[in-house]
Structure 1
Amino acid sequence: MKILICALAVVFVITKAECTNTNRGRVVCYFNNGAVNRPGIGRYGIENIPLDSCTHVIYAFIGVTDTSEVLVLDHKGDVENNGFRNFTSLKATHPNVKYMVVVGGWDEGGGKYSKMVSSSTSRTIFTSSVVDFLNEYDFDGLDLDWEYPGAADRDGNPEDKQGFLDLINELRVAFDDVGKDWLLTAAVPMTKSKLADGYDVPGLCQALDAVHVMTYDLRGNWDGFADNPSPLYRRPRDQGVYENINVEDGLQLWVDEGCPANKLVVGIPFYGRSYVLSSSSEHDIGAPIDTAAGGADPAPYTDSRGVWAYFEICSKLKDEEGWIRKWDKDGKVPYAYRENQWVGYDDPQSVKRKMEFIKENGYLGAMTWSIDMDDFRGLCGKANPLISIMHSKMKSYTVPEPNEDNYLEK
């Protein structure tokens, strides 16, 4: 059927991205280049990436200049110390893996991106700069993580929605013209308001090779109560604005808005959101927290208040007395607490369930932010347990073919 659909591309105006969609389930590993600066056993370099478990590895991050060109954010690490070149040189030993780079991220803000997409001239400057950059460092494609088009609180404006679509279409044409089979993907949110403000879902999904849905950070210290950042399913307690803020409903929203399921890659966090409870006697999901604290104390290696890597979480449960792990039977995710310290996260049990969910619904695969927060040194058992599960569940998974109706409607 796939061959037939692609043969009829002239009739149905199917893009190259749709025809080259692989049948193999994807395991997309985001690599945080800043992890090389973590102390001691927390340090994670390019040499630590488990390439046998990833189908795609994405180097994070590059940015955008005020003049709409590619911006190297860490010149010392990425250029002087050959971060980019060392990364893409991994092709020598693992040529079947795709080596991409992501532009954007939360810290980049949104104003520069809104300005860049606002005119044909600035989009052309950016597109040309990207082509030169990918050629120079031998990357296999670009992932766009603009957070978020059209978001007023991120210096966006209503015109971003069309501008972002125009940019994606122009990048698609430019990449195809290069003739190197470069991939074009995007990391996207999963709430109805953000999609309405900045994402032309059918248009984006037609042009992109894959859509990386950020189904994490769905809860955090900002909500005023303790919860897991990535519940798989809706729970009875999820009411009002929280009713559809879960992995299942977020993915279904993209499908309902016009994106074929086999273009969607499901995000799984390799970190947890930590909190300081208001009372050490109340520790279930939804327990009130001390929001002024900004999350629990930083863990020793990631050194970030409110965010702990999985390897730091499992080490606490293994080595520190008093920690109690609980399972959210409705959301299918774990959490743990000790006195007034609380953390919601993903572990082998929840990752296995999410991978089954991906296969049950015909999604393209899974991605993680970020690979360097797995238990890569085996502090709690076998090394790289989470990404190993993702790989084991995807290696024999055949992604269902797209529904022809999706193309006929276009």
Structure 2
Amino acid sequence: MYKFILFLGICLAFASGSKPPEKSPAKHPARLPVADNKCQKIVGCYYINNENEQVDPTLNIEMIDVHICTHLFYSSVSLKKNASIELDDAYTDEGEGGGYERISKLSKRNKRFKTLTTIVEYGILFDPKMRGKLVDNIVAFLQKYKLNGIELKSQYLAENNAVASDKQNFVLLLKALKENFDKHGLILALSVDGYESTANKYDIKEISKYVSFIILKAFDFHGNPDVTAKRPKAGHIAPLYHSSKENAEERKLNVDYIVKYWITKGAPPNKLILGTTFSGIDYTLVNPKIVGRDAPVVVDPKYSIPPTSYYYTCPWEKNRVWTTLWDKEQQVPYISKRKEMIAYENVASIKLKAEYAKRMQLGGVFADSIEEDDFSGHCGGEKFTLLKTMSRVLRDKC
């Protein structure tokens, strides 16, 4: 009876000249939205090619999932005093079958996938006489290797005391790059460390006018050998919030503080990309009974604190010999066994950071670096565990 009534209703609808309702278009017609639409959040993936160096299983270029990453940041080049560009790893990246050729082929699997390389400079960016030549050389380089843009990092500004003229010349360079990049549809990204002192070296309001986006590397807040030597206590590589036990200066060393600082200085939230890391810090405890933030750690002036990654740490999360500790204030995990303690990111903490980026209406997230994720699923979960966690958060109810 129900089927007969339904059929009769459809017939009457057609008879009256009305049309059955059309199917609503999909909210995201493509598998991943492009970076210039209203809902898009960038998922930037930094990748280091260790194929020729690492004995352990590593992430090959062809294994990169172009439907998770919207932008891939690959390798780096250096600017010379004559404004020429030199590959930092010509053996790996140059020529037929080289790294740049291989990543350019990834775009064939997803036309919306963007590839960029990092340009590191040590002062030439601030020479107005070289500006025009420099811009032309950068564009020519990108076209030669079929790249979509650059991630610009100024080591000069990061390591020196910037004066007013440096700030202005850097803005003028970005302006010149943008004018030329726009003609060729290229992406101009700026990468900055997540410290207040670094932020103060930029005219944030002005540079924001000319860059496509700013990657704010909100990590490496603790574990620096120079700092740990003076204060031999543990801290997390990327706490989300400050701790009530911290003093005024220490409360600046977290994601929340530095993101809000850039915004108050004039950076549009939608141009800020929250930089996260899949690395960790491997501490040696003085007392295995004292763990977590502020735990006394052994410092050897001859050696830096060894880094590790989620790829090597995640197997221990299910090992009963290891104990996991969650810092409720800073929203980050530690894992320890006897005198060894690792400060790292796990699924819970990286999800909170992605939720934070979404709540703050940032332009997206950036992962440094994806070969340190569980790219093979060897910990028993899905492949690219952390990366997919962030991606799902940013695309949920966009």
* Fold similarity call, TM over 0.5: yes
Report the counterpart of residue 103 of structure 1 in structure 2: 119
Contact 1:275/1:294, CA 8 A, preserved across alignment = no
SS at match of 2:157: coil
Larger radius of gyration: 2
**1:267 equivalent in alignment to 2:267:** no
Greater alpha carbon shift after TM alignment, 187-196 vs 261-270: 187-196
Structure 1 residue 284, shift from structure 2 partner: 2.5
C-alpha separation in 1, matches of 2:38 and 2:91: 36
1:279 counterpart residue number = 287
Structure 1 residue runs of 4 or more that deviate by more than 3 Å after TM superposition: 19-23, 156-159, 293-296, 316-319
CA 1:21–1:249 in structure 2 vs 1: closer, same or farther (change >3 Å)? farther
| TM-score in terms of structure 1 length | 0.82
Deviation, structure 1 residue 312:
0.4
**Structure 1 spans left out of the alignment, 5+ residues:** 1-18, 105-111, 297-304, 399-410
Partner residue, 2:31: none
Aligned to 2:335: 336
2:73 to 51, 58, 75: 58
Query: What is the rounded CA distance, in whole Å, between the counterparts of 1:342 and 1:219 in structure 2?
Result: 14
- Which residue among 182, 207, 228 is the counterpart of 1:176? 182
Query: Which letter does structure 2 place at the counterpart of 1:100?
Result: L
Which residue is equivalent to 2:122? Answer: 113
1:69 lines up with 2:68 in the alignment:
no
Q: How far apart are residue 32 of structure 1 and its match?
A: 1.2
Match of 2:19 in 1: none
What is the percentage of aligned positions where both structures have the same residue?
A: 25
Q: 1:308 maps to what in 2?
A: 308
Asked if residue 380 in structure 1 is aligned to residue 389 in structure 2, the reply is no
Aligned match of 1:91: 107
Q: Which moved more, 1:249-258 or 1:235-244?
A: 235-244
Task: Report the counterpart of residue 195 of structure 1 in structure 2.
Answer: 199
**In structure 2, what is the Cα distance between the partners aligned to 1:213 and 1:122?**
27
Aligned to 2:29: none
Does 2:241 align with 1:228? no
**Is the contact made by 1:134 and 1:140 (CA closer than 8 Å) also made in structure 2?**
yes
Task: Measure the CA separation in 2 of the matches of 1:330 and 1:96.
Answer: 39
Q: Alpha-carbon deviation of 1:379?
A: 1.4
Structure number with higher helix proportion: 1
1:130 aligns with 2:134: no
Please give the alpha-carbon distance, in whole angstroms, between the structure 2 residues aligned to 1:229 and 1:264: 20
User: Following the alignment from structure 1 to structure 2, what is the Cα–Cα distance between the partners of residues 339 and 158?
Assistant: 51
Write the deviation string for residues 270-293 of structure 1: whole angstroms up to 9, x where unpaired.
Answer: 111121222333223111222216
- The letter of the residue matching 2:103 is F
> Contact conserved, 1:276 with 1:295, CA < 8 A, in 2?
no
Instruction: Give me the whole-angstrom Cα distance separating, in 1, the residues matched to 2:315 and 2:297.
Output: 23
Query: What SS does structure 2 have at the residue aligned with 1:166?
Result: helix
Q: Match of 1:216? A: 219
1:165 is aligned to 2:181: no
3-state DSSP of counterpart to 1:53: coil
Tell me the distance in 1 between the aligned counterparts of 2:176 and 2:93: 27
- Deviating more after overlay: 27-36 vs 340-349: 27-36
Report the count of equivalent residues. 357
Distance 1:397 1:103 in 2: 35
Report the alpha carbon displacement of residue 221 of structure 1 after superposing the two structures with TM.
4.2
Equivalent in the alignment of 1:252: 260
Give the secondary structure class of the aligned counterpart of 2:78: strand
Alpha-carbon distance in 2 for matches of 1:67, 1:60: 22
Is the Cα contact below 8 Å between 2:334 and 2:342 reproduced in 1? yes
Task: Give the 3-state SS of the residue equivalent to 2:46 in structure 1.
Answer: strand
CA–CA distance in structure 1, aligned partners of residues 301 and 317 of structure 2: 22
**Correspondent of 1:289 among 282, 294, 297:** 297
Q: TM-score, normalised by structure 2?
A: 0.84
Return the offset for 1:200.
0.8
**What's 1:109 paired with?**
none
State which drifts further: 343-352 or 156-165: 156-165
Consecutive unaligned residues of structure 2, counting only runs of 5 or more, are 1-34
Give the superposition deviation at 1:91. Answer: 1.2
Amino acid at match of 1:65: K
Q: Is the 8 A contact 1:24 1:397 kept in 2?
A: no
Check 1:207–1:308 CA distance in 2 against 1; reply closer, same or farther (3 A cut): same
CA distance in structure 1 between the aligned counterparts of 2:164 and 2:352, rounded to whole angstroms: 38
Cα distance in 1 for residues equivalent to 2:175 and 2:105: 29
Which residue identity lines up with residue 350 of structure 1 in the other structure?
Answer: S
Kindly state the Cα deviation for residue 157 of structure 1 after the two structures are TM-superposed. Answer: 6.0
Name the CA distance, whole Å, in 2 between partners of 1:185 and 1:165: 13
Residues 350-395 of structure 1, C-alpha deviations (whole Å, 9 max, x = no match): 1111111111111111111001110011111221110111111122
Aligned counterparts of 2:134 and 2:283: Cα–Cα separation in 1: 40
Secondary structure (helix, strand or coil) at the match of 1:37 reads coil
Report the alpha carbon displacement of residue 184 of structure 1 after superposing the two structures with TM.
0.5
Residue type matched to 1:141 in 2?
Answer: G
Q: Aligned AA for 1:216?
A: F
- Quick check: 2:192–2:198 contact (8 Å CA) kept in 1? no
Q: 1:362 to 1:392 in 2, by over 3 A?
A: same
